Amino acid sequence: MSPDEPEHVPPPVRRLDAHSLRGLAHPLRMRILELLRLDGPATSTGLAERLGQNTGTVSWHLRQLAEHGFIEEETGRGTRRERWWRAAGARNELNTRDFRDNPDTRGAVAVFTHEVVTQQFHRVMDYVNDDWGDEWRAAGTISDWSELRLTPSQLEALNQELMEVIARHTPAPDAGSDAGALPVVVQLQSFPRHERDRS
């Protein structure tokens, strides 16, 4: 990074508690939030068209997301009848340890994690099925490594290092982009698996 380049400050992290988790853990709400995060502000009408839902349903879920602080109205845009919404700036983080002993939130945790994995799957399939030129096809990757043997602390350290690399490549919000640059999604999945009994 050159001295003239502004240092990128990562967005604040919002750790989901039981109340906020219940406000988000709904398939349609999570899809709405994903669209606002990926593609920017939208109206309930525009979102309803993209999601194949009626406007009233989408408007209700938008209000629920706003009430829990996941989205906010884009002021100075739209009309009294047609409001524009954008994703709030914080990045959401769910730590399942926070809910391990709370049976009341088990369903919400299951819905949330299922929807996150489903969204990530669909993003990969969209990439695979879309018609990309050779240059972009060669640049993208779907990779996995299964030879690692790590302790929990080593796995945490690995994840932290990977996130730091991604942060270095994330431009500041007001920075321009290079000619030919497109939005890029990085999905990180690293988890232990139970070892098969080899005896």
> What domains are defined for the chain?
13-140 (1.10.10.10)
Distance CA 197, CA 100 (A): 27
Terminal Cα distance for the chain, rounded: 53
State the pLDDT at residue 7. 57
Q: Determine the Cα angle at 92 with ends 86 and 97, to 5°.
A: 160
pLDDT tens digit at each of 199 positions of the chain: 445 555 556 678 899 999 999 999 999 999 999 999 999 999 999 999 999 999 999 999 999 999 999 999 998 886 777 899 999 988 899 998 899 888 999 999 999 999 999 999 999 999 999 999 999 999 999 999 999 999 999 999 999 999 999 999 988 777 777 888 999 999 999 999 999 887 6
> According to the model, what pLDDT value does residue 127 have?
95
Mapped onto helix, strand or coil, the DSSP state of residue 154 is: helix
Name every residue whose Cβ is closer than 8 Å to that of residue 1 and which is 6 or more positions away in sequence. Answer: 7, 168
- Give dist(CA 165, CA 187) in Å, integer: 13
Element (H, E) at 30: helix 27-39
pLDDT of residue 1: 47
3-state DSSP call for residue 126?
helix
* Residue 175, pLDDT score: 72
Classified as helix, coil or strand, 15 is strand
CB neighbours of 183 closer than 8 A, spacing ≥ 6?
Answer: 38
